Amino acid sequence: MNYRQLGSTGIKVSEVGFGAWQLGNTRDWEGMEENQAITLVHEALEQGCNFFDTAPNYGGGNSESLLGKALTGRRGQAVINSKFGHHPDNTLNFDSQKIRSSIEGSLRRLKTDYLDSILLHNPPFEILTGSTGHFEVLESLKQEGKIRAYGASIDSAREMDELIQNTGSQVIEVMFNIFHQEPRKAFKNAAEKNVGLIVKVPLDSGWLSGKYDESSVFTDIRSRWDPNQLRKRSELLPVLKEMLDPGESLVQLALRYILHYPEVSTVIPGNKNLEQLIENLSAAEKRISAVKVKKLEEIWEEKLKAHPMGW
């Protein structure tokens, strides 16, 4: 495993991290047994993965709780990122007065006395302007040692630029993948301000695994896709598969594309089993060519820039 700096935090993170949305989460995904979840976390640590991304609402708090159990006695080996705004009872509330109690709840579930980073979880745009008091609360918690860094989890270049310009955020989590490259235009701004980038939804919620086509039927959160979105994705998959090296999977290509950008600190694919975990982590073993990156950028420019797909 290779490691990169998480912006100006002084924290080193594995290039491929562990997206923990699926741990103990029967609400959005198929269920996962506790022992299986703990085994996945332990195997990730053994493979050199040290970055774990979770949130209070993932599995109604189960993701944080399982991660806390798995990291008992091994907290020093892990970098933990959690969030604020989406709560365990599945309510959405960004009241700045609830930040402290939310973080304290996360700390209890995670069995730790500090978070390496905390992110406002897709907050309303006005909060990103720095005018609502949220970041003052986060700065106070940082000074107290409850958190080491803070920022927000967002989806667009406009949101990135607003956050970088108006707040003291050291970390940004942003949706970025082969099908969703719009945030790329804000990467330079992030690098200039030494803001660490965590890339979420790197496999387009599993679509870039290559396992699905336009006839696929989803009963979980992915049922949000309409037939037109399924068709557009399906039409692009053969083009991507033609770009694979011998022995390379579409998952590895997708993650290597993201890791090509030096502004990215870590990428956080989800893991439902050991096979997926090993495939995800193996993406860091090889680099993608600049020629392929240019081709993938051209595909997005020509096919998707003017007609973006909802995720």
User: Are the C-beta atoms of 295 and 243 separated by less than 8 Å?
Assistant: yes
Question: How far, in Å, are 83, 121, 250 from residue 153 at the CA level?
Answer: 8, 5, 25
Q: Cβ contacts of residue 41 below 8 Å, gap of 6+?
A: 18, 23, 52, 66, 67, 70, 71
pLDDT at 218: 65
pLDDT tens-digit series, residues 34-85: 888 899 999 999 999 999 999 999 888 889 999 999 999 999 999 999 999 8
For the chain, the structural domain boundaries read 3-304
192-203 burial, b for 16+ CB within 10 Å, e for fewer?
ebebbbbbbbbb
Strands 264-267 and 79-84: unpaired
Residue pLDDT, tens place only, 150-200: 999 999 999 999 999 999 999 999 999 999 999 999 999 999 999 999 999
Q: For the domain 3-304, what is the CATH code?
A: 3.20.20.100
CB atoms within 10 A of CB 116: 21
Euclidean distance between CA atoms 153 and 308, whole angstroms:
20
| Lowest-confidence region among 54-58, 208-212, 300-304 | 208-212
User: From CA 192, how far away is CA 7, in angstroms rounded?
Assistant: 10
pLDDT reported for residue 200: 97
Mean pLDDT of 97-119: 97
Residue 215: what pLDDT?
Answer: 65
Give the separation between CA 22 and CA 39, rounded to whole angstroms.
14
Dihedral angle of Cα 263, 266, 270, 274, to the nearest 10 degrees:
140
